[in-house]
Structure 1
Amino acid sequence: MADMVRAAVLLGPRRIEIQEFARPPVGPDHALLRVEANGICGSDVETYRGHLGKATGPLIPGHEPLGIIEEIGEQAAKRWAVVPGDRVAVEIVVPCRSCQSCLTGRYQYCRHRAVGHGVTPLSVAPGLWGGLAEYLYLSPGAILHPVDKTLPAEIAVMVNPIGAGVRWACHLGGVGIGDTVLVLGAGQRGLASVIAARAAGAGTIIVTGLSADAHKLALATEFGADHTIVVDECDTVDRVAELTDGRLADVVLELTPMATAPVTDALLAARLGGRVVLAGLKGGKEVPLRTDLIINRALTVVGAYGVDARACADAIRIIESRRFPLAKLHTHTFGLDDTALAMETLGGEVAGEAAVHVSVHPEAASC
């Protein structure tokens, strides 16, 4: 076993450096994960660009890690029911497990959590808190989900984006049989929402994107969308009204990054008594909110934060079922040395690269 661990460190906007860290000892209540792959999220890209607030210090990004249990303490093995060699996906949130929120199943809102995967600065020992590294340190509060070891790593690592689709469309959006669902945004989580809505029995699924998103909109159709709307060529709300004979959408998912206008579109495109789920981060931008729309249309508006254990479990069932051709979502694999290029590729900054799902595999060469 190597004594040193290589990791990609975010030093500031667009500044990623590969550094080495001492391999931490593993106590009875802890574990060490050998990272097979870490998915790159749109929020990672915006953080890399410096759009989502200031980091509290240099850190190792990566909140979608998948890997193999390399070392584990006796108490940790009992708690997590895993042994060396098991493959697991790891949640971003590391709750305290003892406060009122944790004990009542609302651990995502734990006020006492001190660390989180991919968001904790190096100053918090042992520093290896992010998935963009050869190894990830697992503290006692970490939440793990076993995943089928026979799946390719680039598919198995999709637990977080597929889980987001499940949570936002089904758990928060309440999509049911026959519902009309509008998904604003055709990124990997928008496509995952199509998969989740189709699995839940939605009647009509509509997905929006830009003309530059033609490859993503084509995938949306392949995964079950009935209609796609190119928003820079026509009015979203008018087209939804046309497609639904004026009934509009039962459930609207607003997933667009940084853009503010789609929030109003979401409210206008929801039917009377409809449900709107807001999950697209805007980088702190002020969003004009037409509250009269919410009141007069009797809308339910829900904010979506992250992916919880229930959504992860449902996502793993979808992935392991092999029902959907998820390999078509994955477009790029990068090695650890090319982490910055992975961010830029997913962000559409690399000419000629039509990225959808991108992951970094610490032991792999870029391709």
Structure 2
Amino acid sequence: MCTSSPRSRRDGWPRAWVRGGRCSSAATAAWWWAPRFRNWWSVPTPWTRTAGCSGSRRPWLPRSRCGRRKRAPCCAYGSERSGSAARGRTGFRSYRRRGGSREAGDGGRGELGSGVLGSAGPPAAGRAEPRQLPALRRVAGGGVLAVIERVRAAVATERLRTELRTFPLPEVGPDEGLLRVEACGLCGTDWEYYTRQRGAHLGPMILGHEIVGTILAVGEEARRRWKVAPGDRVAVEEFLPCGECAFCRTGRPALCDATDSRSTRPFLRYGATPVEVAPALWGGFSEVLYLHPRALVHRVPDGLSPDLATLFVPLSNGIRWVRRDGGLRPRSTVVVIGPGAHGLGCVAAAVEAGAAQVFALGRERSPRLEAAQALGAVPLEADREDVVGAVRDATQGRMADLVVDLAPSGAEGLATTLALAGKGAVVLFAATKHGQLAADAFSEPIVRKGLVVKGVRGRDFEAVDEALAVLASGRLPLQRLRTHRFGLDEVDQALRVQGEKVDPSAIHVAVVP
């Protein structure tokens, strides 16, 4: 028996074996192996001669027990791996058959093995029970596992209409992955594709790009690149950048031609790629999302719910625009025009950055302005008060240091935006204007005040991680932005609530497959 170290309480064998210690007899091996045959699938193979036991009479022991402990393979069933195994530590648990699927004792934080497709835990109020899945099956490519045969998705087939279709689960290569979608937020871009204002020539597609879910399967190369394992909850950006152009190297993937939806070249992008492009699962309004090798994947902090995590897109955009593009300094004055989800993300980013005063400008009193006030902004109603005079009085005539305009208004709105900016201020436009604009009315205040005018799109990788950290911290009441949740068979209703403004209380709408 090994005597160089005491027996490990956790593992049940002498620590000397793990560290390459010496073994004295065959009885020692028999002592260790006898109870292990009950869990035959965890027996490490093959047998090999190990330097740590070179002086023993019986040196043939598994390398993983004599040397470094063998890691759990990435191809293990999610139901076989415990929560600690999914985060890089070994550990197995048995599975059992129930109702035609293999299940584990508990789902953990969104792990596989529950036998259903949906978020772990009880279903949301008013929602039907998640549907049962078929039995587990193996798929080729990188030694990964999948758990379903067919995937349901809401496909936008024509203007103002989606239909549920099923697609085969794709095989995953070593640099690819699959995501079990838990929640997907809606954006104004989804409404534009839904109404065919954009992408009418692309054909049917699965919309949705504010995606949060758990890793269903992942190849070895992708596992190392994304630093994830099956069962990990992640957020996925819509961009699939090339990683080589000047925009990618400077942290502006939204402008990369390989993923820019406004580009004249062919592009790949979540929520804007037709189903004709294999493997079809390119949108968040689906039970499973295909993870392309160029996907931008972020780990979601522990304890952050999937539907709240979908706010990472408007909040990270706000962080990028206000802090990076706007160069916001502490004790500055900020005006945000348009208190939608992205406008409220800008309000939250300005408050987090230490702005002295933040004004949220809307047309009339609404739940959106109330949410902005809860985040720390001063609400202004353009239809009922002189907003320029109110900002002038509050700042003793200095006006705003940063103005973020997210409202698709015309010439009158543009004049108000420029009037709210003080000398040397930065003005950011995140929405296009319409109507005829007089050149002198636009250029005169810019030159006279020395304004810096920028157009903003998208975000950088770091901004998403910062946004997820803010959401997980609970410092701001961002949960007030979550107003509507719909199932996969209610995507048409969700899009109309988001785009047609049929419900004035709607701020951020999400689809929960």
TM-score, normalised via structure 2 length: 0.66
**1:242 to partner: Cα distance:** 3.2
CA contact (8 A) 2:214 2:234 kept: yes
Match of 1:139 in 2: 292
Change in 2 beyond 3 A, CA 1:86/1:199 = same
Match of 2:134 in 1: none
Match of 2:104 in 1: none
Residue among 185, 188, 201 paired with 2:341: 188
**1:107 to partner: Cα distance:** 3.4
Instruction: State the secondary structure of the residue aligned to 1:54.
Output: coil
Q: Distance in 2 between matches of 1:281 and 1:10?
A: 25
Gaps of 5+ in 2: 1-146, 260-266
Q: Distance in 2 between matches of 1:279 and 1:266?
A: 12
CA contact (8 A) 2:314 2:342 kept: yes
**1:306 to partner: Cα distance:** 1.1
CA contact (8 A) 2:497 2:506 kept: yes
Match of 1:152 in 2: 305
Matched, 1:303 2:455: yes
CA contact (8 A) 1:248 1:270 kept: yes
Match of 2:160 in 1: 14
Q: Find the structure with the greater CA-based Rg.
A: 2
Q: Distance in 1 between matches of 2:254 and 2:499?
A: 27
Structure 1 segments, 4+ long, off by >6 Å, are: none
Match of 2:389 in 1: 238
Match of 2:120 in 1: none
Over the matched positions of the two proteins, sequence identity in percent amounts to 41
Q: Distance in 1 between matches of 2:322 and 2:246?
A: 27
Change in 2 beyond 3 A, CA 1:316/1:349 = closer
Change in 2 beyond 3 A, CA 1:206/1:33 = same
Deviations 1:122-156 (A, max 9, x none): 12111111111111111111110100242222111
Matched, 1:111 2:264: no
Matched, 1:208 2:393: no
Change in 2 beyond 3 A, CA 1:104/1:183 = closer
Change in 2 beyond 3 A, CA 1:53/1:254 = farther
Match of 2:375 in 1: 223
Change in 2 beyond 3 A, CA 1:181/1:69 = same
The letter for the 1-side match of 2:168 is A
Gaps of 5+ in 1: 363-367
Instruction: State the secondary structure of the residue aligned to 2:215.
Output: strand
Q: Distance in 1 between matches of 2:480 and 2:421?
A: 30
**1:184 to partner: Cα distance:** 0.2
The letter for the 2-side match of 1:66 is V
The letter for the 2-side match of 1:21 is F
CA contact (8 A) 1:92 1:118 kept: yes
Q: Distance in 1 between matches of 2:447 and 2:299?
A: 43
Q: Distance in 1 between matches of 2:252 and 2:497?
A: 35
Q: Distance in 1 between matches of 2:506 and 2:221?
A: 41
| Aligned positions of 1:1-367 closer than 5 A | 1-52=147-198, 54-113=200-259, 114-211=267-364, 213-225=365-377, 227-257=378-408, 261-282=412-433, 290-351=442-503, 354-362=505-513
**1:22 to partner: Cα distance:** 1.3
Deviations 1:234-260 (A, max 9, x none): 343333223323211100000114656
TM-score, normalised via structure 1 length: 0.92
Instruction: State the secondary structure of the residue aligned to 2:490.
Output: helix
CA contact (8 A) 2:172 2:178 kept: yes
CA RMSD in angstroms, aligned pairs only: 2.0
Higher relative contact order (CA 8 A, sep 6+): 1
Q: Distance in 2 between matches of 1:68 and 1:181?
A: 37
Change in 2 beyond 3 A, CA 1:72/1:258 = farther
Equivalenced residue count is 358
CA contact (8 A) 1:36 1:361 kept: yes
Change in 2 beyond 3 A, CA 1:305/1:350 = same
**1:42 to partner: Cα distance:** 2.3
CA contact (8 A) 2:174 2:219 kept: yes
CA contact (8 A) 2:427 2:453 kept: yes
